[in-house]
């Protein structure tokens, strides 16, 4: 397009600068919030009121802030579960299934200890440690299956993880409904409540899984930027063919990124169902918590694969979902505001992906020739 003496064009940017990448991420979030304001528009109140209510509850109300922080930890663990395979070029969208596996494994510990029947059991440090460990192992086992199928037979990991999500969703129902092994003695459709002895300590009001998640984010970034293992995963993710030539074992990389990813998802399942005050059970609407794990995908994508960069994202999106649901009730908005924001964020991420890849270029147009150039001698 020509504007005056300049020509405006959109060109492909082969290597976007870090500043452009950061700008793209910020634009994605800002645009999603702008679009979400349409959802918050009611005849009685504008979007500003809704955002004030949502963010006020999520970050200024003590009860809301607690919920936001716990959810942020959950989202951070889910983010790590998605991000590690992503750096290896693989998509782990089996977060809900691995979260459910972790929750079931965590509840299996007090169940086997007989705490379900007692209502309150005695648990030592070993039992308390066993719960997150069992959760991480269960998630890792599910991840290992995906990783092995991908690595050995090139089975599409997106399809396998989605199938496993559905398998695990129904298995949780089997455990907590219609006389299932973990069903509460007093309420149909939810698990038994975790006895106090099996609830983790809360230093600074947070369960140990919160500190583990934060530490893991730092370690993951360090490994990807400084360690040989991270280099191998990144190389495999960027160019599997070149990685093979360089002697990187594709089976080992695919397996381990999924094992680690699954372990973090399993831990997220432990965190939300067994370590967050006020819940301590697998509730009837456990599917909602599974769906929330998809926010981890958005966090990782918008943070462009940086685990530490995903921490503020996780906090923001946790606040948005907690506050959005509160505003939904306060303003009598339709159910699903948090789901809609999730969708909008994903769309704006795809948009920001384009901002990374393309750039708008202004160039002065060449002055038009005033007369025909002289012909070289001898030319016909």
Partner 1 sequence: MNELLARSLEASTVFLLAALGELVNQRSGILNVGLEGLMLFGGTAAFLVAQSTGSYPAGLAAGIAVGGLLGWVHGLFSIRLRGDQVVSGMGLWILSFGLTTYLGSPHTGPLGLPRFPALLGLSPFVYFGILLVVAVWFVLSRTSLGLAIRSVGESPAAAAASGVNVAGIRYLCVVFGGTLAGLAGAAYTLSYNPVWNYNFLMGWGFVSLALVFFSMWNPWVLLGGSVLFGAMWQLSLSPEYVLPGVLSRYVWRTVPFGVTIAILTVISTPWFRTRWGLAKPQALGVPYAD
* Residues that bind partner 1 in the complex, under the rule CB under 8 A: 39, 91, 93, 149, 153-156, 158-160, 162-167, 169-171, 173-174, 177-178, 180, 291, 294, 297-298, 301, 334-337, 339-344, 346-347, 349-350, 353-354, 357-358
Q: How far is the CB of 317 from partner 1 (least distance, A)?
A: 12
Q: How far is the CB of 334 from partner 1 (least distance, A)?
A: 5
Q: How far is the CB of 212 from partner 1 (least distance, A)?
A: 27
Tell me whether residue 2 is exposed, middle or buried, using C-beta atoms within 10 angstroms of its C-beta: 0 to 12, 13 to 18, 19 or more: exposed
Q: What does DSSP assign to residue 4? A: T
Nearer to partner 1, 79 or 130 (CB): 79
Q: How far is the CB of 288 from partner 1 (least distance, A)?
A: 9
Yes or no: say if 351 and 30 are a contact pair by the CB < 8 Å rule: no
Nearer to partner 1, 59 or 169 (CB): 169
Q: How far is the CB of 13 from partner 1 (least distance, A)?
A: 12
Residue 6: beta bridge partners? 3, 364
Nearer to partner 1, 159 or 361 (CB): 159
Tokens of 249: 């074992």
CA–CA separation, 278 vs 129, rounded Å? Answer: 20
Q: What does DSSP assign to residue 146? A: H
Nearer to partner 1, 232 or 325 (CB): 325
Yes or no: say if 335 and 69 are a contact pair by the CB < 8 Å rule: no
Q: How far is the CB of 242 from partner 1 (least distance, A)?
A: 17
Q: What does DSSP assign to residue 281? A: S
Strand, helix or coil at 361? strand
Nearer to partner 1, 136 or 355 (CB): 355
Nearer to partner 1, 51 or 198 (CB): 51
Name every residue whose Cβ is closer than 8 Å to that of residue 290 and which is 6 or more positions away in sequence: 95, 96, 97, 99, 100, 165, 169
């Amino acid at each position: 397009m020509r504007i005056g003496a300049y020509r405006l064009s959109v060109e492909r940017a082969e290597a976007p600068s870090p500043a452009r990448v950061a700008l793209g991420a910020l634009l994605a979030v800002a645009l999603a919030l702008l679009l979400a304001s349409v959802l918050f528009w009611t005849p009685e109140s504008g979007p500003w009121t809704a955002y004030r209510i949502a963010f006020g509850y999520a970050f200024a109300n003590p009860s809301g802030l607690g919920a936001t922080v716990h959810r942020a930890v959950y989202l951070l663990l889910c983010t790590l579960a998605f991000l590690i395979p992503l750096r290896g070029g693989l998509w782990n969208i089996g977060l809900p299934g691995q979260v459910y596996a972790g929750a079931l494994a965590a509840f299996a510990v007090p169940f086997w200890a007989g705490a379900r029947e007692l209502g309150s059991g005695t648990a030592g440090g070993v039992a308390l440690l066993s719960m997150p460990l069992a959760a991480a192992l269960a998630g890792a086992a599910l991840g290992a299956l995906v990783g092995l199928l991908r690595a050995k037979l090139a089975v599409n990991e997106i399809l396998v993880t989605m199938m496993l999500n559905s398998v695990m969703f129904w298995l949780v129902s089997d455990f907590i409904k219609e006389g299932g092994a973990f069903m509460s003695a007093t309420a149909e459709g939810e698990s038994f409540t975790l006895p106090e002895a099996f609830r983790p300590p809360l230093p600074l009001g947070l369960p140990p899984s919160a500190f583990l998640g934060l530490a893991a984010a730092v370690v993951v970034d360090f490994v990807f930027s400084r360690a040989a293992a991270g280099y191998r995963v990144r190389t495999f993710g960027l160019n599997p063919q070149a990685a093979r030539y360089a002697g990187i074992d594709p089976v080992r990389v695919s397996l381990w990124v999924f094992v680690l990813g699954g372990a973090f998802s399993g831990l997220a399942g432990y965190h939300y169902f067994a370590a967050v005050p006020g819940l301590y059970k697998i509730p009837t609407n456990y599917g909602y918590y599974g769906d929330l794990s998809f926010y981890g995908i958005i966090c990782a994508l918008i943070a462009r694969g940086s685990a530490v960069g995903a921490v503020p994202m996780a906090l923001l999106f946790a606040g948005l979902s907690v506050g959005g649901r509160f505003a939904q009730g306060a303003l009598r908005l339709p159910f699903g505001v948090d789901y809609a924001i999730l969708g909008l964020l994903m769309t704006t991420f795809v948009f920001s992906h384009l901002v990374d890849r393309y750039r708008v270029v202004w160039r002065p147009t060449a002055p038009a020739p005033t007369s025909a150039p002289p012909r070289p001698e001898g030319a016909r």
